[in-house]
């Protein structure tokens, strides 16, 4: 298996390969290999996600081994969580002949990389959250596995309203940028439809770490439910502070865009108990492909796959399957093979919609368990409901270039 | 050969040698782009004694200016770059005019505050800047008959601009104006007493530095096809300052060394170890403790040691040298 990090480690230590003249350097992808690029934040604040993403890609590449009578490998590309670095390194990988990429956890880097890969006639599949990826900025080379904001709200807020008919007053906390507004607008539409009173919203910036002021405002509005629309460490901080304020006892809390196991491990069952979470993936999903993956990961890594691991495994597999189907690693041919592809995926039957390159898959509503009810160390939550909700490509503003 | 000519020759050698030793035109272009930004920062830090955290503002504004111009007008690339340079200069004049009213730590705090201010402006006006997603789809049009689509053809374009800018900065540094900046740095009160318009000189230094940094930002946006929000945030200022300090603030070529070292070593280290930022932090500690003249100082000591055939002398107290003769 070809791993850029391992290869560079040895070459850098022995010869400072980066600065050697081109003719003297070891090639990253030996002549006949098919190389998948894995642009992930391996360093910086999102390095933990990058590490698991890389493990997922490595596992499927190792499993498949060969396609089209050629050895399969991958190169790990450290985006450092910065769009500029991500694009620059993707450009370099493309110059070395890589056409297929799976990665991009952060929206800003995924959007920029998608554009770059499409420009170079490659294919890029990502799990990043920004709606624009398969919406207004959709393009011929970019595919997205994760459910956009519309579906995340439809599959969390709507079922929760149905489960809690007495929760008539909702308060929202929203990060003030495009992603947050996407979630908020979808939630407002449901509130309006269901006759829910939206008693208030607190906007905060992407750099915010202290949420007590927003939570105080939320408590003053006396809502029946608190809808947290930020993500990552911000959503964990918001939830921690909300629980310490005793809000869990006074209202229902829904964190609509959780990252699953990796986030739950940092929160712990005491915080999570009784709280609802929206998730793209959960290792407890009862689908044949997921059960198979969970067993394989447990056997190989002695752990359950988290979202970053599982999604990277699947998205890389989609690229490999499409290349095999197309009989080529040529970007446009692989993209064509991916369009309309139906397969048994992690969340059950999944399909890649041809018109906007969005994967049609389930989104999950989970509920945190009490520590005493956990069957194993990772059994943090139960699946309450799930389903598929997507805007049409036209509604999502995708005009495929 | 005088010192300025030697430094220009060294800069030209770097620009000519990078294609021979680097696998990627993209990485090579990034080295020269940040070399420009670091040299511009050096004009403030090394020559005027101003530690500015505002460099990211000018870099980011340059990125946005070129992107918005090329996306929304039919102006040619040369004019788009000129506008980016102007945007950097105008912003730097404003930031400089307000910041130099205070000295020392208060000056640094003001530039930090401006850095945050401009970051949040870019973040808030997402319809203009793209907000957190960045300004996407920035084209890289041809300049006259020359297409810049290929990474090495773009590198050639960047290299030509880099040498032009480097020569211009050298000219500024060795002019009466540049030598007066050194006087201001060394003893502001005395320079004022002699009759130099110190404030005007500092603002002008800011404007020149901002103009070059704006141009570097524009070239960077053209390189990657996007003007990300990270281009205007505080960390960009920090990176440019680190490059300047690692290279050494003694002369402009030291900044080329610093930028090259930072960009290449970061790229190499990030491929080897995910916690590479720790190593970079360690390196900064070493530079701050033992190599206060930066890589250039180290190089000088090595050359001196080779010349004299004995052990390198104990480093003299830090006193950035002048490209000119001093006053």
SS (H, E, C) B92-104: HHHHHHHHCCCCC
Whether B320 is covered by a domain: the verdict is no
For residues A213 and A296, membership in a common domain is answered with no
Which of B154, B271, B159, B281 minimizes the C-alpha distance to B223? B154
For residues A116 and A176, membership in a common domain is answered with no
Q: How far apart are CA B128 and CA B134, in angstroms?
A: 10
Structural contact between residues A217 and A202, judged by C-beta atoms closer than 8 angstroms: yes
Question: What is the mean predicted confidence (pLDDT) over A118-126?
Answer: 96
Please report residues of B whose CB lies closer than 8 A to that of A80: 270
**Residue B72: per-residue pLDDT:** 96
Whether B96 is covered by a domain: the verdict is yes
**Residue B187: per-residue pLDDT:** 86
Whether A394 is covered by a domain: the verdict is no
Question: Chain B neighbours among A 126-185 (CB < 8 Å)?
Answer: 130, 132, 137, 177-179
Question: What is the mean predicted confidence (pLDDT) over A229-254?
Answer: 94
Contact B226 A87 (CB under 8 A): yes
**Residue B310: per-residue pLDDT:** 59
pLDDT confidence bin for A24, thresholds 50/70/90: very low
Whether A395 is covered by a domain: the verdict is no
Predicted confidence (pLDDT) at residue A165 exceeds the cutoff of 60:
yes
Report residue A340: phi and psi, to 5°. Answer: 80, 0
Structural contact between residues A129 and A117, judged by C-beta atoms closer than 8 angstroms: no
For residues A120 and A81, membership in a common domain is answered with yes
**Residue B129: per-residue pLDDT:** 94
Whether A36 is covered by a domain: the verdict is yes
Q: How far apart are CA A195 and CA B33, in angstroms?
A: 56
Predicted confidence (pLDDT) at residue B315 exceeds the cutoff of 60:
no
For residues A80 and A195, membership in a common domain is answered with no
Tokens, residue B218: 């524009």
For residues A338 and A378, membership in a common domain is answered with no
Please report residues of B whose CB lies closer than 8 A to that of A88: 26-27, 30, 223-224
Residue pairs spanning A and B at CB distance below 8 A = 119
pLDDT confidence bin for A32, thresholds 50/70/90: low
**Residue A67: per-residue pLDDT:** 93
The tally of domains found in chain A comes to 2
Alpha helices in chain B (DSSP H): 3-21, 25-48, 55-72, 77-99, 105-124, 126-129, 151-174, 176-186, 188-194, 198-224, 234-247, 252-272, 276-290, 294-308
Contact B27 A44 (CB under 8 A): no
Whether B29 is covered by a domain: the verdict is yes
Quote the domain boundaries for residue A236: 150-279+363-387
Query: Left if phi > 0, otherwise alpha if psi is -120 to 50, otherwise beta: which for B104?
Result: left
Is A118 an 8 Å CB contact of chain B?
Answer: no
For residues A238 and A196, membership in a common domain is answered with yes
Structural contact between residues A381 and A275, judged by C-beta atoms closer than 8 angstroms: no
Whether B129 is covered by a domain: the verdict is yes
Please report residues of B whose CB lies closer than 8 A to that of A83: 134, 224, 226, 228, 230
Q: How far apart are CA B179 and CA B172, in angstroms?
A: 9
pLDDT confidence bin for A98, thresholds 50/70/90: very high
For residues A64 and A46, membership in a common domain is answered with yes
Taking CA atoms, A109 is separated from A35, A104, A256, in Å, by 21, 6, 22
Is A24 an 8 Å CB contact of chain B?
Answer: no
Q: What is the pLDDT of residues B158-210, one digit of tens each?
A: 999 999 999 999 999 999 998 898 888 888 889 889 888 989 999 999 999 99
CB contact burial A145-181 (16+ within 10 A = b; e otherwise): bbbbbbbbbbbbbbbbbeeeeebbbbbbbbbbbbbbb
Whether B316 is covered by a domain: the verdict is no
**Which of A10, A43, A399 has the most B C-beta neighbours within 10 Å, making it the best mutation to test the interface with B?**
A43
* A107: nearest CB among B24, B133, B274: B133
**Residue A289: per-residue pLDDT:** 97
**Residue B13: per-residue pLDDT:** 96
A92, closest residue in chain B (CA to CA): B24
Whether A398 is covered by a domain: the verdict is no
For residues A165 and A222, membership in a common domain is answered with yes
Please report residues of A whose CB lies closer than 8 A to that of B135: none
R_g (Cα) of chain B, nearest Å: 19
Whether B319 is covered by a domain: the verdict is no
Q: Residue A31: which CATH number? A: 3.40.50.2300
- Does residue B188 or residue A71 have the better pLDDT? A71
User: Given the DSSP bridges, would you call strands A123-126 and A363-368 parallel, antiparallel or unpaired?
Assistant: unpaired
ipTM above 0.90, yes or no: no
Whether A84 is covered by a domain: the verdict is yes
Contact A20 B21 (CB under 8 A): yes
Question: What is the mean predicted confidence (pLDDT) over B260-265?
Answer: 92
**Residue B318: per-residue pLDDT:** 47
R_g (Cα) of chain A, nearest Å: 21
For residues A264 and A371, membership in a common domain is answered with yes
* B272: nearest CB among A12, A20, A107: A12
pLDDT > 70 in chain A, percent: 92
Question: What is the mean predicted confidence (pLDDT) over B260-289?
Answer: 85
Q: Residue B82: which CATH number? A: 1.10.3470
Contact B270 A42 (CB under 8 A): yes
Please report residues of B whose CB lies closer than 8 A to that of A43: 270, 274-277
CB atoms near residue A399 (< 10 Å): 12
Quote the domain boundaries for residue B287: 3-308
* ∠ CA A66-A69-A74, rounded to 5°: 40
Question: What is the mean predicted confidence (pLDDT) over B35-58?
Answer: 94
For residues A350 and A261, membership in a common domain is answered with no
Which of B3, B18, B312 minimizes the C-alpha distance to B162? B18
Predicted confidence (pLDDT) at residue A11 exceeds the cutoff of 60:
no
B161-B166-B169-B170 Cα dihedral, nearest 10 degrees = -150
For residues A13 and A142, membership in a common domain is answered with yes
Contact A95 B228 (CB under 8 A): no
Whether B318 is covered by a domain: the verdict is no
Structural contact between residues B279 and B321, judged by C-beta atoms closer than 8 angstroms: no
For residues A58 and A47, membership in a common domain is answered with yes
Please report residues of A whose CB lies closer than 8 A to that of B21: 19-21
**Residue A208: per-residue pLDDT:** 84
Whether B71 is covered by a domain: the verdict is yes
Structural contact between residues B220 and B30, judged by C-beta atoms closer than 8 angstroms: yes
The tally of domains found in chain B comes to 1
Stretch among A386-400, B57-71, B246-260, B285-299 having the lowest mean pLDDT:
B285-299
Is A14 an 8 Å CB contact of chain B?
Answer: no
Q: What is the pLDDT of residues B80-113, one digit of tens each?
A: 999 999 999 999 999 999 999 888 899 999 999 9
Q: What is the pLDDT of residues A233-244, one digit of tens each?
A: 899 999 999 999
Predicted confidence (pLDDT) at residue A354 exceeds the cutoff of 60:
yes
* B132: nearest CB among A12, A16, A206: A206
**Residue B124: per-residue pLDDT:** 87
Whether A401 is covered by a domain: the verdict is no
Whether A393 is covered by a domain: the verdict is no
Whether A105 is covered by a domain: the verdict is yes
């Amino acid at each position: 298996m070809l791993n850029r990090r391992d290869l560079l480690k040895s070459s850098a230590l022995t010869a400072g390969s980066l600065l050697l003249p081109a003719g003297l350097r070891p090639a990253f992808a030996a002549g006949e290999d098919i190389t998948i690029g894995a642009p992930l934040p391996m360093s910086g604040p999102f390095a933990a996600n990058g590490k698991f993403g890389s493990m997922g890609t490595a596992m499927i590449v190792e499993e498949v081994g060969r396609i089209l009578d050629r050895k399969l490998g991958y190169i790990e590309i450290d985006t450092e969580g910065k769009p500029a670095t991500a694009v620059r390194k993707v450009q370099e990988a493309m110059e070395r002949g890589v056409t297929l990429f799976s990665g991009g956890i952060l929206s800003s880097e995924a959007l920029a990389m998608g554009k770059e890969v499409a420009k170079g006639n490659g294919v890029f599949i990502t799990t990043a959250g920004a709606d624009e990826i398969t919406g207004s900025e959709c393009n011929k080379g970019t595919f997205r596995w994760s459910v956009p904001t519309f579906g995340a709200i439809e599959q969390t807020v709507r079922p929760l309203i149905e489960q809690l008919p007495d929760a008539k007053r909702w308060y929202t906390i929203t990060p003030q940028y495009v992603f947050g507004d996407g979630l908020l607008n979808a939630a407002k539409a449901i509130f309006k439809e269901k006759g829910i009173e939206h008693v208030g919203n607190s906007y905060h910036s992407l750099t915010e770490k202290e949420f007590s002021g927003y939570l105080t405002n939320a408590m003053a509005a006396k809502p029946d439910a608190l809808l947290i629309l930020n993500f990552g460490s911000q959503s964990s901080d918001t939830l921690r502070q909300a629980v310490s304020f005793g809000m869990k006892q006074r209202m229902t809390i829904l964190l609509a865009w959780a990252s699953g196991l990796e986030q739950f491990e940092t929160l712990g069952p005491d915080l999570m108990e009784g709280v609802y979470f929206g998730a793209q993936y959960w290792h407890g999903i009862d689908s044949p492909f997921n059960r198979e993956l969970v067993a394989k990961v447990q056997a190989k890594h002695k752990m359950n796959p988290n979202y970053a691991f599982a999604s990277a495994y699947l998205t890389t597999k989609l690229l490999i399957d499409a290349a095999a189907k197309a009989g080529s690693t040529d970007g446009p041919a692989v993209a064509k093979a991916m369009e309309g592809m139906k397969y048994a995926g992690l969340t059950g039957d999944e399909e890649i919609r041809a018109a906007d390159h969005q994967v049609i898959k389930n989104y999950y509503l989970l509920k945190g368990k009490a520590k005493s009810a956990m069957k194993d160390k990772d059994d943090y939550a139960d699946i309450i409901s799930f389903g598929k909700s997507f805007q049409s490509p036209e509604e999502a503003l995708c005009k495929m270039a | 050969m005088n010192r300025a000519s030697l430094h220009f020759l060294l800069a030209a050698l770097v620009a000519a040698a990078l294609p021979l030793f680097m696998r990627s035109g993209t990485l090579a272009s990034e080295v020269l782009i940040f070399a420009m930004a670091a040299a511009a920062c050096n004009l403030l830090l090394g020559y005027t004694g101003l530690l500015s955290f505002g460099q990211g503002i000018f870099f980011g504004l340059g990125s946005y200016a070129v992107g918005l111009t090329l996306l929304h007008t039919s102006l040619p690339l040369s004019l788009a770059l000129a506008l980016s340079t102007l945007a950097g200069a105008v912003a730097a004049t404003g930031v400089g005019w307000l910041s130099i009213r205070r000295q020392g730590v208060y000056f640094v705090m003001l530039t930090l505050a401006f850095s945050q201010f401009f970051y949040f402006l870019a973040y808030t006006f997402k319809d203009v800047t793209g907000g957190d997603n960045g300004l996407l789809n920035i084209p890289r049009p041809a300049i006259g008959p020359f297409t810049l689509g290929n990474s090495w053809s773009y590198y050639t374009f960047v290299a030509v601009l880099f040498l032009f800018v480097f020569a211009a900065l050298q000219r500024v540094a060795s002019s009466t104006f540049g030598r007066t900046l050194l006087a201001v740095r060394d003893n502001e009160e005395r320079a004022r007493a002699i009759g130099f318009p110190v404030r005007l000189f500092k603002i002008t230094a800011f404007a020149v530095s901002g103009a070059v940094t704006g141009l570097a930002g524009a070239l960077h946006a053209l390189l990657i096809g996007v003007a990300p929000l990270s281009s205007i945030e505080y960390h960009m200022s920090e990176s440019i300052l680190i490059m300047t300090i690692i290279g050494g603030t003694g002369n402009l070529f030291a900044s080329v060394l610093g930028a090259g070292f930072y960009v290449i070593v970061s790229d190499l280290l990030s491929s080897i170890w995910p916690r590479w930022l720790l190593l970079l932090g360690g390196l900064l500690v070493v530079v701050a403790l033992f190599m206060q003249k930066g890589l250039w100082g180290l190089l000088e000591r090595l050359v001196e040691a080779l010349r004299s055939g004995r052990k390198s002398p104990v480093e003299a107290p830090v006193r950035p040298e002048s490209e000119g003769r001093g006053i």
